[in-house]
Amino acid sequence: MILPFYIIIPLFTAFLISLIGGKKDYAAVIFSVISVFSLVCLSLYGFFIGGRQILVYRMSAWDIPVGINLVQDSLSSFVLVMISIISLTSVLFSIQYIRHLSQDWKYYALFMLLLSGMNGVVLTGDLFNLFVFMEIALIAAFSLVAYGGRAEEYEAAFKYAVMGSVSSTLILVGIAVTYCSTSTLTLALIAERLPALNTKVVYWIGGLFMAGFGLKTAAMPFHAWLPDAHSSAPAPISSMLSGVLIKALGIYVLIRIFFNVLGAPELFMRIFMVLGTVSIIIGVFLAIGQWDMKRLLAYHSISQIGYILLGLGLATPLGILGAIFHMFNHAIFKGLLFYNAGAVEMALGTRNLKNLGNISKLLPVTSGTSMIASLSISGIPPFNGFFSKLIIIIAAIKSGHPVYAFLAVVGSILTLASFMKVQRYGFHGDRVIETKQTNVGLAMNGAMITLAVLCLVTSLMIVPGIKESILDPVIAVILNKTQYIQMVMGR
């Protein structure tokens, strides 16, 4: 019963904001905060109370082979919680950050469209509907990247839009091949009919979707658009794109298609592992040389996505546990790091590490939370990043891939090195900076502190007892293909 509201609420808010239009900017802020907050409540309710069984919703009461259906299982509700938490903090952060750009209401309307697209992708159980929601999210994302109106932003948005269109076309061809061979678009039915077909069909479909969604995920050979797009966008949008969008449109869909529909074919699992490891190493090497703070963070997104892909490619329960856990953790600490970069840029007018110095006195909250986030991303206990990376590395060793495990450790050490650089030059440098252009307001600090606290709290998810109730159902959904089919088909 609650399922369509994940999509209705943000969509309704988006067009309500655009209906009210330019006169009252505070109304747009209020509407979007209310809408995002209700989405947080809804997703937490769905996760903890309603999410113990699979919910299937038939849109406009058409039965499954004919109509579009929405499916919420543990994996969907887990990703929904992640999306809504990051979007709540992002809206809070935007209130002050976006004010210096013109026409707030367009920003909030696009933000809500982005949110409804992502929620739709996560919830839908129909392949083409997934494509449509993905395009809604992507078009909103292209516009938001260009929102600042500077030359670099248009350039980044153009690159992003071209790459996005190419990948969408590949996905459309993949959908065409799927429909041609199985004559259905419902994910569960495709999963049911595929094993009876020639295995070449699986390779065709898998290859096309791998290229298409791999471009959205920005794994290594397809990464070129990510650093531009994610570093040029406004800071709250960078955190949405890096923290949530590449996971909802990339990782989540890859999991859904390759595990629940195609049934984890051996070849693609190996490709996942190779791509993941290459992304870890090359992403971190490219990141170390950067002096632009947001660009450095964007390259780290590629590297951290590599860890998730490596964990998924292992296809053991432990590896998937690590991947899922790292996906959530990465959303939180990468969101926080982008907020830090945005706050620094707003307060001091630059985000080049060479021009920064000791700002721990000037911006205590920003530098404190950035320390926590840096420790998390480089995997220092007791923060959440440590546990998820450790699980992935242990899983790699256990399943007999010591080389991948070694490379993951190397990547982690290099991550630590590059964040020591950020802390050394950016926040605790020699030059003491004493003047700032603007104050970092309460809502921005609140958003950063919330995520910093979550960095510590989410590491509790691995404690036995909590792990069984939160992470284990998600892993069960991913690993059990037939259960997904049966639950959706209602048998």
Contact with another protein (CB under 8 A): which of 54, 71, 79, 157?
157
The full DSSP string for 79-129 is HHHHHHHHHHHHHHHHHHHGGGSS-HHHHHHHHHHHHHHHHHHHHB-BHHH
Contact with another protein (CB under 8 A): which of 39, 54, 161, 448?
161
Rg over CA atoms, the chain: 21
Residue 228 interacts with another protein (CB under 8 A)? Answer: yes
Pair 109, 14: CB distance under 8 Å = yes
Residue 208 interacts with another protein (CB under 8 A)? Answer: no
CA distance 244 to 253: 13
Pair 240, 86: CB distance under 8 Å = yes
For residue 168, the minimal CB distance to another protein (Å) is 8
Residue 71 interacts with another protein (CB under 8 A)? Answer: no
Q: In whole angstroms, how far apart are CA 298 and each of 20, 90, 355, 411, 459?
A: 35, 17, 19, 15, 23
The number of residues that bind another protein (CB under 8 A) is: 49
Q: Which is nearer to another protein, 90 or 143 (CB)?
A: 143
Q: Which is nearer to another protein, 40 or 59 (CB)?
A: 59
CA distance 212 to 217: 9
Angle at 105 between CA 99 and CA 111, to 5 degrees: 95
- Strand extents, DSSP E, 156-289: none
**Part in contact with another protein (CB under 8 A); list of ranges 12-20, 251-259, 308-316, 326-334:** 12-20
**Part in contact with another protein (CB under 8 A); list of ranges 54-62, 79-87, 268-276, 358-366:** 54-62
**Part in contact with another protein (CB under 8 A); list of ranges 131-139, 266-274, 456-464, 481-489:** 131-139
For residue 41, the minimal CB distance to another protein (Å) is 19
Q: How far is CA 244 from the centre of its chain?
A: 2
Residue 232 interacts with another protein (CB under 8 A)? Answer: yes
Q: Which is nearer to another protein, 159 or 436 (CB)?
A: 159
Q: Which of residues 457-486 bind another protein (CB under 8 A)?
A: none
CA distance 268 to 206: 8
Residue 139 interacts with another protein (CB under 8 A)? Answer: yes
Residue 73 interacts with another protein (CB under 8 A)? Answer: no
Residue 27 interacts with another protein (CB under 8 A)? Answer: no
Contact with another protein (CB under 8 A): which of 176, 397, 417, 466?
176
Q: Is 69 helix (H, G, I), strand (E, B) or coil?
A: strand
SS (H, E, C) 126-189: EHHHHHHHHHHHHHHHHHHHCCCCCHHHHHHHHHHHHHHHHHHHHHHHHHHHHHHHHCCCEHHH
**Which residues make up the interface to another protein (CB under 8 A)?**
4, 8, 11-12, 15-16, 18-19, 21, 57-61, 128, 131-132, 135, 139, 142-143, 146, 149-152, 154-158, 161-162, 164-166, 168-169, 172-173, 175-176, 179-180, 185, 224, 227-228, 232
